[in-house]
Amino acid sequence: MSQVPVPRLARGIVVVVLAGFASVYVLAGSPLAIVAFGLQLVYVLRSLRRFRGPWLLVVQALVGYAATLGFGTSVGILGFLGGSLLLTPAWPLAPLVAVSAAVVGPADPAISMVLIALVIYGLTRLTDRVDEMYAARLALALAAAAEERLRIATGLSDGLGRGLAAIADGVRSVVDRPERTSVVDQAVDRPERTSVVDQAVDRPERTSVVDQAVDRPERVAETLGEVVATARRSLADARNAAAGYRATSLAPEMTTARAMLTAAAIETETRVGHSEPLGPAGALLAAVLREVVTEAVRQNTATTCVIETTTADGTVRLRVTHDGARTAEDEGLADLTRQLGAAGGSLTTGLSAEGRLTVDAVLPEGPAEAAEDPGAYRLSVALLAAVLVGFSIKALLFVPASLMVPAAACLAVIVVMQLRSINGRHMLALALLALLVYLPIPVFGRAWLGAAGFLAGPILLAFPWSVAWPLVGCVMASVAVSAVLLGLPVPLTVNFTASTLVTGLVVYGLLKLAQLVRELQEARQALARAAVVEERLRAARDLHDLLGHSLAAILLKCELARRLDPARARAELTDVLAMTEKAEGDLRVISGARPTLSLAAEAESARSVLAAAGIQVELGLAHAELSAEVENVLGTVLREAVTNVLRHSSARHCAITTVVEDGVVRLRVRNDGVRSSEGRPGSAGIGNLTTRLAALDGRLGTERDDDWFELTAQAPSSMHMVG
C-alpha cells in the first residue's frame, strides 16, 4: 500500500480527475468551469462538508446553465450538476438535467455530460467507501481477535478446564464423607475463613474429615495417583496447546522441513506461494507438513521431495510430494484429516504407480475472509466498464457506417484490456493496447484520436510517475501530430490533445480506485489475521507462564503428598485445592480476563513450592506498592523463574529479592545447581518474559557464574501499560 494514507490518496485522485474535466472547458473559453470545479470539491473534501445543502445545488445549476446558455459552453459542463444531484436525495432530477443537455446540445457533448456525472458520482461514492473501510479496519481486527479469544476459551474450558475440575474432585474424594468436604472448600474459596482448617488441626474432635482421608493410606495413594496422572496430562496438554498457538506461521516449518530432508540426503524443492501470517491455518498446515516429512525421513527411501504452497479463492493449499512412499496410508494423518475437516478444509493423499506420494491439504486462509465487502470493488469495476463503454460510443458516433463493425470490435478489445489492467501492470498487454490505439488511425480518422486516452490511463498506472508523465506527454504529442496530419483545425486539435489527458486521468482514477479498494480489503483481512495471530501468541504466553506454573506446582505437591506422613499430607492436600483454584483463575486469564497477580503473594507461593522441593529459600522483598501492570508482569516473571529452577536445575539454594531505586523496581532470582542452558535465553519462557517486560519499557537480564544462575527483571515501579 502507498505510504500516503489511503483515504487521502483516494480523494487526491478524485480532485485531479475533476480538475481535468474543468480544464477542458477552461481551454474552450469558459472561466465558469473553475467555479463549477470549486463547488464540486464540497462533495469530495471532508473539511468542506459543512457547506453541503440545497443551496449548493441551486448555485451549481445557475453556474452550469449560465455557462451553457449564456456563454455557449458545451453542455458537458452540466455533468458537474448531474453528478452532485446523484449524490443527494434530489437524484431523480439528474435525468432531467441529462434530457436538457440532449435538447440544448448535440449528442457528443450530451454523452459527455452523462459520463462526467457518472464519474463524479462513482468516484465520490468510492472515496466514501474507502473512508468507511479504512476507519473500520481496526474494528474488524478487534472483532477477529475477540472471536479467536472465544474459540480459545471454549477449547481450553473443554480440555484443561475439565482436567482442573478432575484434580479438585479427586483430592476432595479422598474424604469419605463428602458433606464434610465443604470445610476445606470454604477455607480455599474464602481465605478469611481459613481458621476453620486451623480449628480442625487444633481441635481433635473436628479433624475427622481429614483423618478419614489420611487414615486410609491405600486410598490416598490410589486417589493421589489418579490426580498426579491427571495433572501430568493437563500439564502436557497446556504445553502442547501453547506450542500449537505459537505455530501460526507455516514458513518456519517449511525451513525446518527442508533442513530435515536435506540432512537425510533427500533432494528438496520448496515453492512458497502464500503470505504470512496464516493464523490458525498455519498451525494445522505446519502439523501436516511435520507429519509427512517425519514419515519420509523415518522410511529413509525417498530421494526427492517437493513442498509447495499456493493461495486461491480465499484458501491456502499445501502440497507435499516425495518418491519414498510404500503406501498412501499414514496413521498420523488420520487425526489431522479430521482436524482439517472440522476447520472447513480437506486433506487427501494419493500414490502414483511410480511410488510418488502426494499429500494435499487445503484450508480457508483466515476468519477475516468472511468480512470482505465486495460491494465497493464491484461498484468500481462496474463504473469503469460504464465509462469505457460511454467513451467508446462517443468514438463510434464519428465512424462511417461501413466501418462500424471493425471499429466496435477494436473498441471492445480495448475495453476488456482496460478492465484487466485492474489486476496489475502487464507490459505485453500495454504494447498490444498501443498498437490498437495507433494502427487504426489511418483507417478510422479523427474518430480514433480519442482512443489515445485509453493508453494514457494504463501508462500512469503501470509506471512510476517520473516515467509515466513523460510517456503521457509523448502520447498527447502524438495525438496533436496526428490531428495536424488529418487536417483538423487548431481548436479541434487542442481539444483532442487535452481530452487525451483528461480521458487518461479518468481511466487512471477509476483503475487506481478499484485497486485501492481491493488492496484495502486485503489489508483489512491481513490486519485481522495478524490480530488473531497476536491473540494466539498471547494465549501461548499465558499458558506457558501462568497455567504451566500452576499445574507444575500441583504436580509437585501431589507427588510430595504421596510420600509424606498423614499429618503433613493433610496440609499438602489443602495446598493442592488452593492451587487448583489459582489454576482456574489462570485459565480465566488465558481466556481473556485481565490478570491480577500480586508479587508478594507470588513470592510466598514460590517459597512454598521451592521448600516442598527441598530447596532452601531466601526471600527479601524491599519494594513498596507497585502499579497493577508491574505487579502482573513481575509476578509472571517470578513464576517462570521458579518453574525453571525446578525443571532445569538441581538447586539447593534460591534467593528471591526485590529493590526499588530511582523509580525502577528490580526483581532478582538467583539459584545454584545449574545443569544446562535449557530454559535460558532463547527459550519460549524467556522470550515470553522479554515481550511482557518490553510492553512496560522494562528489560530482562540473565547471568551465569559456574553453577549459579541469576535472572533479573526491571521495570518502572509506577506506570501505565505502553501500547
pLDDT band at 307 (very low <50, low <70, confident <90, very high): very high
The three cell numbers locating residue 632? 502482573
The three cell numbers locating residue 568? 503433613
Neighbours of 491 (CB within 10 A): 11
Q: Give the range with max mean pLDDT: 236-245, 358-367, 611-620, 707-716.
A: 707-716
Q: What is the pLDDT of residues 553-562, one digit of tens each?
A: 888 877 777 7
- pLDDT at 35 (0 to 100): 93
Q: What is the pLDDT of residues 33-81, one digit of tens each?
A: 899 999 999 988 888 878 888 899 999 999 999 989 888 888 889 999 9
Domain ranges of the chain: 1-105, 251-370, 594-723
Among 5-9, 457-461, 473-477, 593-597, which is the least confidently predicted range? Answer: 593-597
- pLDDT at 34 (0 to 100): 92
- pLDDT at 369 (0 to 100): 43
Distance (Å, rounded) from C-alpha 651 to C-alpha 645? 7
CATH no. for 594-723: 3.30.565.10
Check if the beta carbon of residue 489 is closer than 8 Å to that of residue 426.
Answer: no
Could you give the angle at the alpha carbon of 372 between the alpha carbons of 369 and 374, nearest 5°? Answer: 135
Among 274-288, 393-407, 599-613, 626-640, which is the least confidently predicted range? Answer: 274-288
Contacts of residue 579, defined as CB under 8 A and 6 or more positions apart, other chains included, come to 550, 553, 554, 557
Q: Give the range with max mean pLDDT: 53-62, 232-241, 705-714.
A: 53-62
Check if the beta carbon of residue 269 is closer than 8 Å to that of residue 306.
Answer: yes
Helices (H), 591-666: 599-612, 628-648
The three cell numbers locating residue 430? 500495454
- Average pLDDT over the chain, rounded to an integer: 77
- pLDDT at 584 (0 to 100): 76
Q: What is the pLDDT of residues 116-169, one digit of tens each?
A: 898 888 888 888 877 777 766 655 665 666 666 666 666 666 677 777 777 777
According to DSSP, the residues that pair with 656 across neighbouring strands are 619, 669
Q: Compute the half-sphere exposure of residue 440: CA atoms within 13 Å on the CB side of its CA.
A: 24
pTM here? 0.53
pLDDT (mean) for 297-321: 87
Regarding predicted confidence, which is higher, 179 or 433?
433
Among 56-70, 344-358, 397-411, 505-519, which is the least confidently predicted range? Answer: 505-519
| pLDDT at 537 > cutoff 70 | no
Q: What does the DSSP assignment read for 563-588?
A: TS-HHHHHHHHHHHHHHHHHHHHHHH
Check if the beta carbon of residue 411 is closer than 8 Å to that of residue 385.
Answer: no
pLDDT (mean) for 165-179: 61
Among 234-243, 427-436, 601-610, 649-658, which is the least confidently predicted range? Answer: 234-243
The three cell numbers locating residue 350? 494419493
Regarding predicted confidence, which is higher, 370 or 352?
352
Q: What is the pLDDT of residues 615-626, one digit of tens each?
A: 888 999 888 778
pLDDT band at 480 (very low <50, low <70, confident <90, very high): very high
Distance (Å, rounded) from C-alpha 417 to C-alpha 415? 5
Distance (Å, rounded) from C-alpha 647 to C-alpha 614? 14
State the DSSP H helix or E strand holding residue 79, giving kind and residue range, or none if neither. helix 79-86
- pLDDT at 195 (0 to 100): 40
Could you give the angle at the alpha carbon of 640 between the alpha carbons of 634 and 641, nearest 5°? Answer: 85
Distance (Å, rounded) from C-alpha 696 to C-alpha 643? 23
Distance (Å, rounded) from C-alpha 360 to C-alpha 348? 5
- pLDDT at 80 (0 to 100): 92
Among 479-483, 604-608, 673-677, which is the least confidently predicted range? Answer: 673-677
Distance (Å, rounded) from C-alpha 497 to C-alpha 493? 6
The torsion angle over the Cα atoms of residues 556, 561, 562 and 566, rounded to 10 degrees, is 180
Distance (Å, rounded) from C-alpha 23 to C-alpha 121? 19
Q: Maximum distance among all alpha carbons in the chain?
A: 121
Contacts of residue 529, defined as CB under 8 A and 6 or more positions apart, other chains included, come to 144, 277, 278, 279, 365, 366, 367, 368
Q: Does 251-370 carry CATH code 3.30.9.90?
A: no
State the DSSP H helix or E strand holding residue 305, giving kind and residue range, or none if neither. strand 304-312
- pLDDT at 93 (0 to 100): 92
Check if the beta carbon of residue 514 is closer than 8 Å to that of residue 378.
Answer: no
- pLDDT at 636 (0 to 100): 82
pLDDT (mean) for 484-509: 86
Q: What is the pLDDT of residues 36-46, one digit of tens each?
A: 999 999 988 88
Are 251-370 and 594-723 the same fold in CATH? yes
State the DSSP H helix or E strand holding residue 712, giving kind and residue range, or none if neither. strand 708-716
- pLDDT at 206 (0 to 100): 42
Query: Letter for the amino acid at 486?
Result: L
Residues across the chain:
723
Q: What does the DSSP assignment read for 308-369?
A: EEEEETTEEEEEEEES--S-S--HHHHHHHHHHHHTT-EEEEEE-TTS-EEEEEEEES-GGG
Beta strand segments in 368-466, E: none
